[in-house]
Amino acid sequence: MEMPLREKTLARILRERARHNGEHPYLLFEDRSYSYAEAYALSARIAGGLWANGVRPKQHVAIMMENRPETVWLNFALALIGAVAVPVNNASRGELLAYYVAQSDSVAIVIDSAFVERFALVYEQCPLLERIIEFPGIPKGPVSDGKFGNLPVTPWQAIAAAPPLSALPDVEFSDTLHIIYSSGSTGRAKGILAPNVTAVMATESLVRLNGLDNTDVMYACLPLFHGNAWYCSLLPALIAGGTAALSQRFSASSFWKEIVQHGATHCSLLGSMTNFLLLQPPSPEERNHRLRVCLTVPTPDAPDEFEERYNVKIASLYSLGDFGLATVLSPNDPRDKLRSAGRPRPEMSVAILDEHDLPVPSGEVGEICLRNNGAWVARQGYYKMPELFVRATRNLWFHTGDRGWMDEDGYLYFAGRNSELIRRRGENISALDVEKVILKHPAVANAAVFAVRSEFQEDEVMASIQCREGHTLDFVDMVEFCAERMAYFMVPRFVEVLDALPVTPTEKVEKYK
**DSSP character for 5?**
G
pLDDT of res. 81: 97
Residue type at 483 in one-letter notation: A
Cβ–Cβ contacts within 10 Å for residue 329, how many? 27
Q: What percent of the chain has pLDDT over 90?
A: 77
Judged against a pLDDT cut of 70, whether residue 137 lies above it is answered with no
Residue type at 106 in one-letter notation: S
Q: What is the 3-state secondary structure (H, E, C) of 106-165?
A: EEEEEEEHHHHHHHHCCHHHCCCCCEEEEECCCCCCCCCCCCCCCCCEEEHHHHHCCCCC
What is the number of H-type helices and E-type strands within the chain?
15, 26
Residues in contact with 150: Cβ distance below 8 Å, sequence separation at least 6, in sequence order: none
Of 231-240, 427-436, 458-467, the least confident: 427-436
How do residues 402-422 score in pLDDT, each as one tens digit? 889 999 999 999 876 666 678
From the list 83, 84, 101, 105, the residue with the least C-alpha distance to 92 is: 101
Cα 266 versus chain centre, distance: 19
State the chain's mean pLDDT as an integer: 92
Assign 368 to helix, strand or coil. Answer: strand
pLDDT of res. 11: 97
How far apart (Å, rounded) are the C-alpha atoms in residues 98 and 16? 37
Residues 335, 339, 345, 348, Cα dihedral to 10°? -160
Task: Report pTM.
Answer: 0.85
Residues in contact with 254: Cβ distance below 8 Å, sequence separation at least 6, in sequence order: none
What does the pLDDT average to over 370-380?
96
Q: Which residues pair with 132 in a beta bridge?
A: 109, 153
Residue type at 401 in one-letter notation: G
Cα distances (angstroms) measured from residue 13 to each of 2, 20, 176, 197, 217: 10, 10, 16, 11, 18
How far apart (Å, rounded) are the C-alpha atoms in residues 415 and 17? 40
State the Rg of the chain over Cα: 23
What does the pLDDT average to over 347-366?
95
Contact indicator for 196, 265 with CB cutoff of 8 Å: no
From the list 196, 244, 199, the residue with the least C-alpha distance to 222 is: 244
How many C-alpha atoms does 192 have within 13 Å on its Cβ side?
Answer: 19
Phi, psi (degrees; rounded to nearest 5) at 267: -145, 165
pLDDT of res. 301: 72
What does the pLDDT average to over 72-101?
95
pLDDT of res. 417: 66
**DSSP character for 376?**
T
Kindly write down the DSSP assignment for every residue of 418-469, as one continuous string.
-TTEEEETTEEEEHHHHHHHHTTSTTEEEEEEEEEE-TTSSEEEEEEEEEPT
Cβ–Cβ contacts within 10 Å for residue 391, how many? 11
pLDDT of res. 510: 75
pLDDT of res. 345: 96
Q: What percent of the chain has pLDDT over 70?
A: 95
CA angle 179, 184, 185 (to 5 degrees): 140
Of 263-267, 367-371, 402-406, 422-426, the least confident: 422-426
Phi, psi (degrees; rounded to nearest 5) at 229: -60, -40
How far apart (Å, rounded) are the C-alpha atoms in residues 348 and 369? 11
Bridge-based pairing state of the strands 412-416 and 25-29: unpaired
